[in-house]
Amino acid sequence: MIQFLSNLIGLHDLVVQLVLLPFTYCPQPKELMADIRSYVTDYRKVDGVYSFHFNHCSILMVDLVGFCFYRRANGVTIHQKQLLYKIPSIKRQIRHGIFPNMSHETCSRISCKIWGILTPEQRTRFINIYILQHNITLKGYSIEEV
């Protein structure tokens, strides 16, 4: 097993045995695991709503940037904004007010990054503001699930 892992990722056997394997057996904090689960389920729901109603993920990306940078009382910290500002297309959008033409995959990847920087409470706030307050129906989901 150790030899397989070291060949697979190109690391020395000792590094795999002493550093990587012990980490895999450490239990992760419950808060982190809940955050990961909520990230996946919430993003699928939001992406499904935006795909169904707007048919392009760039609108989700624009709404997420607007939520992070332009909405007051959203709870986004300076540190989170600094992380977001390091994404080149977001930096261009903040400076010039437009997103360059991007493929669906690029938009989706950037939206996932923004969604991942937000805390579970901020994600819930985004859903409440951009989906529930605008009475957008959640295709295939009941309001209680969100």
DSSP state of 127: H
How confident is the model over 22-71, as pLDDT tens digits? Answer: 777 778 888 888 888 889 999 999 988 888 888 777 888 888 888 888 77
**Element containing residue 62 per DSSP (H, E):** helix 57-69
pLDDT at 144: 44
Q: How many CB atoms lie within 10 A of CB 32?
A: 9
- Give residue limits of the domains in the chain: 29-145
User: What would the DSSP string read from start to end of 4-55?
Assistant: HHHHHHT--HHHIIIIIHHHHTSPPPHHHHHHHHHHHHHHHHHHHHHHHHHS
Q: Can you spell out the DSSP letters for 70-126? A: T-TTS---HHHHHHHHTSHHHHHHHHHS-PPP--HHHHHHHHHHHHHHS-HHHHHHH
Short-list 84, 65, 78, 68, CA closest to 122 = 68
Dihedral over Cα of 26, 30, 31, 37: its sign: positive
Between 118 and 84, residue with greater pLDDT: 118
pLDDT at 10: 59
What local confidence, expressed as pLDDT, does residue 20 receive? 67
Quote the pLDDT of residue 115: 92
Q: What is the number of other CB atoms lying within 10 angstroms of the CB of residue 17?
A: 15
